[in-house]
Amino acid sequence: MKNSNWNSRREFVKKASLAGISLSFPFPEIPNFMKGYELGIVVHSYGMRSSGRLQSAEFPAFQNALDFMNHCHEIGARGIQTVVNGWQSDFSKKVREERERKGMYLEGSIGLPKTNEDVARFEADILAAKEAGATVVRSVCLNGRRYENFSSRQEFMDFKKGAIQSLHLAEPTVRKHQIKLAIENHKDWKAAELAEILKQLGSEWVGATVDFGNNVSLIEDPNEVIETLAPYAFSTHIKDMGVQEYEDGFLLSEVPLGEGIVDLKKGMDLCKKYNPQVTFSLEMITRDPLKVPCLTDGYWGTFDNPKARDFARHLAMIKKKSFSGGLQKTSGLTDSEKLNLEEKNVVQCIQWANSQ
């Protein structure tokens, strides 16, 4: 239920002059379907600011999850998904108190256990997240990108074996503490692969963080990916994607919501259908476009040969839906300009979702 804090926050967003953001930009009118789907924010939306690697008095680095939560509250976010790593009990309690005071949701982001010896660390992070009020924690099996990390099918199968082992190590802990573990499609699994892994695991405590855009890089239609993974949705990464051709394949970027190729209405409705409690967390990453070199031999080392029709359809989509005006780049910008652009992108997406 929306409390007075949340209503005040929505009013703040509608009236905000965005002081501190030097770039001026228009906000598109919100479509009716977004009403009732207010967004939280994934900490990776602030990849530059949260890391502290860029220095700016105007956009100081977040010192911890409380800093991040306070900022997200100020710009009208419904909740946060943030990294939980080594939190002590007193800090978890502070996060819980602040979260409850602001009426926000919290999801954790934690690393899976790699070995039996790592389970204790995993359990400590689970307990810290739960104490702070999280009912869902998100994780990934691969921190990189499948087509960059592995050059052969055997390398990928070795990774898959280890990833499944990690899930079997993690499942008893989340079942014991009754907190849901959501595995993201993180440019590692094709949608059907992740769905099959979750089905075989067969645990009510392990599901998916449905990322709306990642699998474009694996030559999959984002809307079909959402259809496949929505039945397993415990959480989401809401994003829209822009694409353009380049000599070795295509460029891929997160773009402001409503400007890309993802059917946001269909995806959010599907996730809500299968899980009425699912949250919608914005992951708007500001960076140079990713190069997806699908026209090179090296890209295909871990994949089965694609059906010619499906590959041709994907390339035709890239050509037909090429992002107008060029994809954003951060290279060549000053630190202050990069942080300014990052904030602009996040606020534009939140404004797009929350305005009436």
Complete DSSP assignment for 295-310: TSGGGGGGSPPPPHHH
Closest CA to 124 of 65, 64, 170, 67: 170
Percent of residues, the chain, with pLDDT higher than 70: 89
The Cα 206–Cα 186 span in angstroms is 16
pLDDT of residue 38: 86
Average pLDDT by stretches of 10, the chain with 356 residues: 45 43 42 67 96 89 96 96 97 98 98 98 98 98 97 97 98 98 98 98 98 98 97 98 97 96 95 96 98 96 88 96 94 96 96 70
Residue 193 CB burial class (10 angstroms; 0-12, 13-18, ≥19): middle
pLDDT of residue 280: 97
Beta carbons of 126 and 92 less than 8 angstroms apart: no
Complete DSSP assignment for 217-260: GGT--HHHHHHHHGGGEEEEEE-EEEEEEETTEEEEEEE-TTSS
pLDDT of residue 293: 98
Q: Which CATH number fits domain 4-354: 1.10.1060.10, 3.20.20.150, 3.40.50.1980, 3.30.70.20?
A: 3.20.20.150
pLDDT of residue 34: 53
Q: Name the one residue in this structure whose structure tokens are 């702070």.
A: 132
Summarised one tens digit per residue, pLDDT across range 148-190 is 999 999 999 999 999 999 999 999 999 999 999 999 999 999 9
Q: What are the structure tokens assigned to 201, written together?
A: 């695991």
pTM of the model: 0.90
Rounded to 5°, angle at Cα 342 from 241 and 225: 20
